[in-house]
Every structure is written in C-alpha cells, then in structure tokens.
A and B are shown apart, each in its own frame.
Chain A
Amino acid sequence: MTSTAKVETKNLNLYYGPNHVLHDVSVQILPNKVTALIGPSGCGKSTLLRCFNRLNDLIVNTKIDGEVLLDGKNIYGNGMDVVDIRRRVGLIFQKPNPFPKSIYDNVTFGLKINGIREKKRIAETVEKSLNDTGLWEEVKDRLNTSALELSGGQQQRLCIARALAIEPEVILMDEPTSALDPAATFKIEELVSQLKKKYTIIIVTHNMQQAGRVSDYTGFLYLGKLIEFGKTNDIFTRPKEKLTENYISGRFG
C-alpha cells in the first residue's frame, strides 16, 4: 500500500510555539479518492490539511518533525521548492476568497504567475476550468465582471476553477461549504465526486453527513491525534474506537 499512496505522513508532529498541535500522525491518502478529515473544533484537522501544501510555513514559530510525502518525496525535505509544491497541491478555503478582480482574471491568475502567455491556451483553460466546475453556462457572458458580484456558492466554485486551472495533482478543501447554503453545498459535493476521477482530494469537514456522502476514506482526529482511519463506510457503521463512535453518534463535538 505504501507505494500507491499519493500523499502520506509519517510520524508527523507539529508545534505552534509551546503548543503540541499534531501528535505522531501517520496517514496514507490514496490517489483518485476523496479522504475526509473529521473531528471536533481545534482537533488539528485544518492544521494537518495545511501541512500538505506547507501553508503552515506562514505561521511564525511553527515547528514540524516527521515527514509529509508527496509521491514518496518528503515535501519538508531539503531542496524542495515550496512554490512548486503549492502548484501541485491546491487549497480551497473555508470562506470563498476570490480575488477582487474579474472572473476571467481570477481563473487566469495561476497561469499568469506561472508565466503562461499564449492567449489561446489561456482562453481554453478558462473555459475548461469553468466547465469542470459547472460555472461556464452561468458566467460565460460576464467573464469581465467582478468575481465579487457572484453568489457565495458561485464564488466557491470559481475558487475551485481557479485551482483547477493550474492542473494540480491534489486538491485540499478546508470546510469548503461551511459558508454556503444547502443548495450551493449540494453543488460543491457533486463537484467533489466528479473531480476525484482526475484528482486526489482531501476534505476537512465539520459536517458528518457530508463526510459520509462524499468521501471514500475518513480519518477521525481528536486533540491532535489520528484516532482512527479507514473506509468511510467502516468508520461510520462499525468504528473500532469508542471515541470515534461517540463523536459520530453526536455525543460530543
């Protein structure tokens, strides 16, 4: 199984200053699967997610030991280019964060910073990315209007399109529907199921029904420890750990 994991952590520990946030987390994320990370607030699931594209580097006094492997290579190892890692591992944020630019400029942002200038390729990528997120029909006549005029759900799909435009290998989603209404949430969930054909997806969610609906594998974190990890079906129907059972049955969290 080791050789097939797309992303893998080995004895990952993370400290914010004196706080030990992640304890010895070892997990294997399989390619073209959706893996959900669940757990109560403050359990470290978002922190773990941000280890996969090294966005935790931005927080001062963060110390990490252990390994995070992407295709078997430690992304925290010497000589790894953090910019390149973030190109390969996209991140969708909790609150939709389109840039205050036009819809078109949002999608092309990743291409432009990567030095892609060919007009034809850019136009094709915009159409394709927006198509993949189901936005194309909704916005094709107003690509030059501000992205901020879109609804919350459209903004979040635009952020996904923006991430898809640079063709990442892994897509991280940090509670991507927590700011959205049920209809918009449904669309995002459908999209996640579509996207796993091409991408490896890791999704952090507060919503256990969501984890049950969209994911193939689920990891339950509690107080910075990975308590249990397995097929979503197994975790939800016959958890091995008492803690997991208590959490998914709503006894705490």
Chain B
Amino acid sequence: MDSKVKKRQLQQYIGFGILGACALFVVIILFIILYDIAVKGISTISWSFLSEPPRAGMTEGGILPAIIGTFFVTIITAVFSVPIGVGAAIYLSEYAQEGWLTRWIRASIRNLAGVPSIVYGLFGVALFVNTMSLGASILSAGLTLGLLTLPWIITTAEEAFQTVPKAYREGSLALGATPWQTIRRNVLPYAFPGILTGAILGISRAAGETAPILFTGVAFFLPQLPGSLTDQFMALPYHLYIMSTQHHAIEAVRPLAYGTALVLIILVFLLNLTAIILRYRLRKKYVR
C-alpha cells in the first residue's frame, strides 16, 4: 500500500481514538459517581427513611421534610418560570423584529444564564425576602430558583419554536389566520414536545440547587412539615450539604448523607426520564 495512504489511515485511527476516549471518559466519570453513591446509599434507603423526619439531632430517622420541601419549592419554580419563560420565547421567536431591543433582550438572557447561582441567592434575599416581604419561605426560594431557570427555559423554548417549519406558519397566515391564531394552532402544538423537555430538564436542575435557596428559605432543621408557602422548609440538596459538612458527627451520619444523595439523584433522574418519555411520545404523534 502507498505510504501516503497508510499515513492518512494512521491519522484517522489516532484522531478517532482520541475523540472516542474523550466521550468514554465522560461516561466513566458519570458511572463512577452513580456507582459510588448507589453502593453507599442503597443500604440506608427504606420506607422509614423516606417517610419519617430526622430524629436525635439528625443522626437518625429519615428525610421526609426535605423531600416535601424540595417538592413544593420545585412546583413554585415551575409555576413561575414556565409560563413567563415560554411567553418570552414566543415573543422573541414569533413577534420580535430584529433590532436593538431584541438583541439587547437576547444578550441579557444569555448573560443571566451565566450568573453564578449564589448571586441569584443574594438577589432573591434582596427582592423576594426583603423588598417584597415574602420572608424566608418556600415562595421566596421557589421564585429565586424560577429566576435561575428562566434563561434556560427561554432558550430551549425558542429553539423548539425555531424547529417548527416555516411552511406551517406561512400556510396558516396565507389562509387568513392572525399571527396569534397561527402561533396557538400551528406553532405551539409542534414546539410543545421541545418546550416541555426543556422545561423539565431546567426544573430538575433547579431542584438540585443549593446556593439560591440558602438565604431565601431553606432551614437547617425543622421539627414539623411546612404548613404554608410562607413557611421555611427543608430541602434535599441543602440537607445533603449539612449532613456532609456541617453536622457535629459527620462520620456517623455519612450513610444518611449518601442515602439523601441517592434520593436526590433518583428524583432528578425520574424527572429527566419523564421528559424523555414525553418527548418520545409527543414526537411520534407528529412524525412525518
């Protein structure tokens, strides 16, 4: 064989090998993390761990208040960020003319996505806890996480709108539909799977955040479950942080920390799985 051909083949193998190794590296890291947490956490998980509050200075008992807290905060996050995010995405994708205002809004959204989450926490204290007098509460924390999620939801929803063929929009307008009728009947339904997937992924990420809820409502320990949206709450990521670094007997509660981590990961995984299944089903409905 020609030596030039051999050299090209060698280059091909080396290039392919390096790229493959990069991809494999990511997968290996993920599995090491999951394996470590699963092995160390699985023995802690029982019905009582999931259904009881912590006892004896959080050295015994379960994590029910943290699960409940994370659940309600996540709902507030979703209720706040999905409608506003999708609304903003509709405006940007369907109505906004390209101009300085649109560019300015897009740049702001992109920058917002890059703001560290602890800064969102501080902003949440200033705006929701103090200025709007919502106090440290489920509401304040949920709204703060909502702000954190907004740029993600706007961006993914806008991308979902961009995938709707132009022919659907023009076909609808050419039949005398108003722009709003076109969006509601001929754009939104087809962008919906993408919007939903993006929203769930964004919210599942928010559910695992610690910094934004740190000052806005999460509590170290609460003897009872929250009774209203203006109460403080416990949350899984913060509970994990406490159990791993702030507890007076860190070594003794290590299994509880791993159990908490496993529950948190499973919850996030379930949310992501829901997104995948929904997307698959809805896509099938509209396949060409």
Q: Which residues of A contact B (CB under 8 A)?
A: 53, 55, 58, 60, 83-84, 86-87, 90-91, 93, 95, 97-100, 109-110, 112-114, 148, 159, 162-163, 166
Q: Which of A84, A110, A148 contacts B175 (CB 8 A)?
A: A110
Known: A97-B167, A100-B286. Contact between A91 and B186, CB under 8 A?
no
Let me know if B175 and A90 touch, CB within 8 A. yes
- B208 CB to closest chain A CB, in angstroms? 36
Q: Which residues of B contact A60 (CB under 8 A)?
A: 97-98
Known: A60-B98, A113-B181, A148-B288. Contact between A95 and B175, CB under 8 A?
no
The distance in angstroms between the C-alpha atoms of A58 and B169, with both chains bound, is 10
Closest B residue to A112 by beta carbon equals B185
Closest A residue to B186 by beta carbon equals A99
Closest B residue to A94 by beta carbon equals B167
The distance in angstroms between the C-alpha atoms of A60 and B171, with both chains bound, is 18
Let me know if B178 and A83 touch, CB within 8 A. yes
The distance in angstroms between the C-alpha atoms of A166 and B170, with both chains bound, is 16
Known: A60-B97, A83-B178. Contact between A100 and B173, CB under 8 A?
no
Interface of chain B residues 102 through 119 with chain A (CB within 8 A) = none
Let me know if B173 and A86 touch, CB within 8 A. yes
Is there a chain A Cβ closer than 8 Å to B190's Cβ? yes
Q: Which of B170, B185, B288 contacts A113 (CB 8 A)?
A: B185
The distance in angstroms between the C-alpha atoms of A163 and B171, with both chains bound, is 10
The digit string for B163-176, where 1 denotes a CB below 8 A from any CB of A, is 00101101111111
The digit string for B124-143, where 1 denotes a CB below 8 A from any CB of A, is 00000000000000000000
- B177 CB to closest chain A CB, in angstroms? 5
Q: Which residues of A contact B287 (CB under 8 A)?
A: 148
Let me know if B176 and A97 touch, CB within 8 A. no
The distance in angstroms between the C-alpha atoms of A93 and B98, with both chains bound, is 26
Q: Which residues of B contact A109 (CB under 8 A)?
A: 172, 175, 177, 185
Q: Which residues of A contact B181 (CB under 8 A)?
A: 113
Let me know if A86 and B170 touch, CB within 8 A. no
The distance in angstroms between the C-alpha atoms of A55 and B176, with both chains bound, is 11
Q: Which residues of B contact A112 (CB under 8 A)?
A: 185
Known: A95-B167, A100-B286, A113-B181. Contact between A87 and B190, CB under 8 A?
no
Sorting the interface of chain B by its residue count into under 10, 10 to 19, 20 to 34 or 35 or more gives 20 to 34
Closest A residue to B98 by beta carbon equals A60
Let me know if A97 and B175 touch, CB within 8 A. no
Let me know if B171 and A159 touch, CB within 8 A. yes
Q: Which residues of B contact A (CB under 8 A)?
A: 97-98, 165, 167-168, 170-178, 181, 185-186, 190, 286-288
Let me know if B176 and A166 touch, CB within 8 A. yes
Q: Which residues of B contact A87 (CB under 8 A)?
A: 175-176
Q: Which of A83, A93, A110, A162 contacts B170 (CB 8 A)?
A: A93
- B101 CB to closest chain A CB, in angstroms? 14
The distance in angstroms between the C-alpha atoms of A97 and B178, with both chains bound, is 18
- A46 CB to closest chain B CB, in angstroms? 12
Q: Which residues of B contact A162 (CB under 8 A)?
A: 175
Let me know if A86 and B186 touch, CB within 8 A. no
The distance in angstroms between the C-alpha atoms of A112 and B178, with both chains bound, is 12
Closest A residue to B174 by beta carbon equals A91
Q: Which residues of A contact B177 (CB under 8 A)?
A: 83, 109-110, 113
The distance in angstroms between the C-alpha atoms of A109 and B98, with both chains bound, is 30
Let me know if B167 and A93 touch, CB within 8 A. yes
The distance in angstroms between the C-alpha atoms of A162 and B175, with both chains bound, is 8
- A55 CB to closest chain B CB, in angstroms? 6
Let me know if B173 and A166 touch, CB within 8 A. no
Q: 19 A-B contacts, Cβ less than 8 Å apart?
A: A55-B170, A55-B173, A55-B174, A83-B178, A87-B176, A91-B170, A91-B174, A93-B170, A93-B171, A93-B174, A97-B170, A99-B172, A100-B168, A109-B175, A113-B172, A113-B178, A148-B287, A159-B171, A162-B175
Q: Which residues of B contact A55 (CB under 8 A)?
A: 170, 173-174
The distance in angstroms between the C-alpha atoms of A53 and B178, with both chains bound, is 14
Q: Which 3 A-B pairs have the closest CB atoms?
A: A87-B176, A97-B167, A91-B174
Q: Which residues of A contact B186 (CB under 8 A)?
A: 99
